[in-house]
């Protein structure tokens, strides 16, 4: 009898997990991709990155779940924990798109399953280490194409687009550049550039 009960509970858990995965795939995965094969296709941060920041910010599952549910329905740049908001902007509210019960299932599924092995493999292959290359003078000079001691918006956009293979207009590099350009002179000095590197390492 106990075996039957345990088997029934396991099957029920499996069905719930499959339902939650299906909900995530239909409601969220179009934007928050699980596996990124083409960076140009991104319109939102991959779910692995999102959940990495959630788990860094909230060690307790209940707090993380509560945050995710609130943010999905009431997104606010002041509450964001993911640096990629500078690239993708604030997500639209999902009120009316996802039901309360569906949202509960989705966020629990996300917490239990992400970041997943795909991200761990990528990190071990050196994606994380790659962010640290070219931080010093050489990195600055590579981006300063005309050698005037500053990085113009055009130089910044050209280099990032070439490096990442991304449509720069789509990913708001003008907004990103403006945020980095602290003194508003329309170009980045070395100190402002170093802020960009710190931001990228955080992301």
Domain residue extents for the chain: 12-125, 131-202
Q: How much is the pTM? A: 0.56
Q: What is the pLDDT of residue 128?
A: 41
Closest CA to 44 of 17, 80, 14, 98: 80
pLDDT at 15: 38
Among 1-5, 133-137, 178-182, 184-188, the range of highest mean pLDDT? 184-188
Q: Do domains 12-125 and 131-202 have the same CATH topology?
A: no
Q: How far apart are CA 72 and CA 23, in angstroms?
A: 14
CA gap 167, 88 in Å, rounded: 12
Check residue 132 and give its pLDDT. Answer: 40
Q: Is the pLDDT of residue 60 over 70?
A: yes
> What does the alpha-carbon distance between residue 36 and residue 45 come to, in Å, rounded to a whole number?
10
Q: What is the CATH number of domain 12-125?
A: 1.10.760
pLDDT beyond 90 at 178: no
Highest-confidence segment of 22-36, 123-137, 148-162? 22-36
Assigned CATH class of 131-202: mainly alpha
Whole-number pLDDT of residue 42: 79
Place of tokens 């345990």: 6
Instruction: Supply the DSSP string of 70-124, one letter for each residue.
Output: HHHHS--TTT---TTHHHH-PPPP-BTTB-HHHHHHHHHHHHHH-S-HHHHHHHH
């Amino acid at each position: 009898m106990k075996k039957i009960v345990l088997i029934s509970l396991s099957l029920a858990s499996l069905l719930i997990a499959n339902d939650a995965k299906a909900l995530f795939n239909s409601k969220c995965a179009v934007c928050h991709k699980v596996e990124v094969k083409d960076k140009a296709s991104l319109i939102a941060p991959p779910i692995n990155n999102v959940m990495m920041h959630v788990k860094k910010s909230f060690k307790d599952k209940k707090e993380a779940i509560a945050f995710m549910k609130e943010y999905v329905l009431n997104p606010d740049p002041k509450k964001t924990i993911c640096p990629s908001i500078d690239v993708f902007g604030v997500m639209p509210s999902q009120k009316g798109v996802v039901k309360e019960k569906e949202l509960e299932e989705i966020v629990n599924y996300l917490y239990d399953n992400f970041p997943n092995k795909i991200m761990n493999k990528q990190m071990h292959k050196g994606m994380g280490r790659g962010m640290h290359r070219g931080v010093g003078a050489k990195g600055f000079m590579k981006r300063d194409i005309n050698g005037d001691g500053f990085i113009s918006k055009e130089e910044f956009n050209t280099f990032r687009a070439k490096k990442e293979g991304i449509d720069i207009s789509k990913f708001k590099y003008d907004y990103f550049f403006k945020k980095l350009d602290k003194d508003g002179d329309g170009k980045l000095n070395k100190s402002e550039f170093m802020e960009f590197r710190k931001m990228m390492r955080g992301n």
